[in-house]
Amino acid sequence: MAELRTPDTAELVAAAASALSRAFERPITLDHVQPLSDDKRRNFIARARAIEADGRARPVIVKATRSPHYDPASDKALEGSGLVREWVATAFIRARAPGRRHGAALLAGDVPCGLMVFEDLGNDPRSLVGPLLHGTAHEAERSLALYATALARLHADTVDCRDAHHAVFESIYGAGRPRHSSGWRVETDAEVVAAKLGDAAPASELALLSARLADPGPWQTLIHGDPCPDNALIVDGAIRLIDYEFARPSHALLDGIYWRIGFPTCWCAGRVPSDVAQLVDEVYRQELAAAMPIARDETAYRTELAYVAAIWLFTCLSWRLEAALAEDARWGTWSIRGRLIWYLDAVIATTAAAGVLPGINAAAQGWRAELRQRWPDAVPLGLYPAFAPPAA
């Protein structure tokens, strides 16, 4: 963390005020600045009040990168910077779906400074974390339905967005930017797993998964990329998604599987009962199908869900397996070993139900048996507290 840049609050506030003034073509100043981030955060984040010459004021959020590697002129600026990805995604959403309230509205920005200004969604908005960890089953189910609706609307509003997304990138960071693939090859992740556990998955099935990532076909949308419960704020009875630092055009179900696979990128991980997950699926699919008719096809949906579950399995194993083999660690609500066991369970069940990826299914069963033998005390990821049965 020592490599992060130390922010100059006064300088960033002045840059934010200038960016707002340019965007709205009238003088705007900032006061009541309240830093919200600490020295460990990769971004500087502050709440402030934007004041116009006539005295009108509105609360805003200032967000600036602290990365010493931020280079807006780099050919790989989009791939290498979360702030760039967030800026492009939120600007694209503003252009493609104005007024749809997919997140905090982007108001202005400063490219050289690596700084953005957003609307403030409130001093202490509730997130999806509350209902899942502390609410009743009814509250959690209702909140998950709102969450699925928000994701589906984001995906429906951004179907087939790759060219338009790149055009927005060029409009902000300069024309002539090369396009790069995500670099996400399932084969690479699978090699890590096979080296540790053996039982390599079939090359043909891995190639199929990489092909689905490279070209999701009708499933291509802008995905959030990290739709964790604490990035899902409950505002005026709806979910507003924030922190689009991993957003990109990709397969919609990389987001749309989160409640099925236990929120894999989140400290606040947990399982949702299968009957509740089914109801949430229906909410998501009904909303999505207006723009993506294939979402109504049960076979197609279950097949794609199984593919994406397998992709997440290899991703999570490649991230976490080496450290987990050495020792267990608790991350947020659950242990790493318990999470990995659950991902294997989920993929075995999902691929079997869809009747696809038999080789990966067999390999996953072998990996699960191996890890259960090595980790006899590991407890697979459990239900969220809202759905857990009362303690005896």
| Residue-wise pLDDT tens digits, 82-137 | 999 999 999 999 999 988 889 999 999 999 999 999 999 987 789 999 999 999 99
Q: What is the pLDDT of residue 72?
A: 95
Residue recorded with tokens 């600007």 = 91
**Residue 204 host element (H or E):** helix 203-214
Q: What is the pLDDT of residue 194?
A: 95
- Angular region, 177: left φ>0, alpha ψ -120 to 50, beta rest: beta
Confidence of residue 365 (pLDDT cuts 50, 70, 90): very high
How confident is the model over 15-20, as a mean pLDDT? 98
Contact between residue 114 and residue 65 where contact means Cβ atoms under 8 Å apart = yes
Q: What is the pLDDT of residue 245?
A: 97
Domain ranges of the chain: 9-119, 127-374
Domain 127-374 architecture: Alpha-Beta Complex (3.90)
What end-to-end distance do the CA atoms of the chain give, in Å?
44
How confident is the model over 180-192, as a mean pLDDT? 86
Type of residue found at 320? R
How confident is the model over 148-177, as a mean pLDDT? 96
Q: What is the pLDDT of residue 183?
A: 62
Would the pLDDT of 391 be above 90? no
What is the four-CA torsion angle of 279, 93, 267, 281, rounded to 10 degrees?
A: 10
Q: Phi and psi of 107, rounded to 5°?
A: -100, -35
Q: What is the pLDDT of residue 390?
A: 77
The CATH number given to 9-119 is 3.30.200.20
Would the pLDDT of 1 be above 60? no
Write down the mean pLDDT value for the chain: 95
The answer to pTM > 0.85 is yes
Q: Phi and psi of 368, rounded to 5°?
A: -65, -45
Give 93-106 as a DSSP string: HHHHSTTS--SSPE
Would the pLDDT of 182 be above 80? no
Spatial distance between the Cα atoms of 114 and 5, rounded to a whole number of angstroms: 12
Rg (CA), the chain: 22
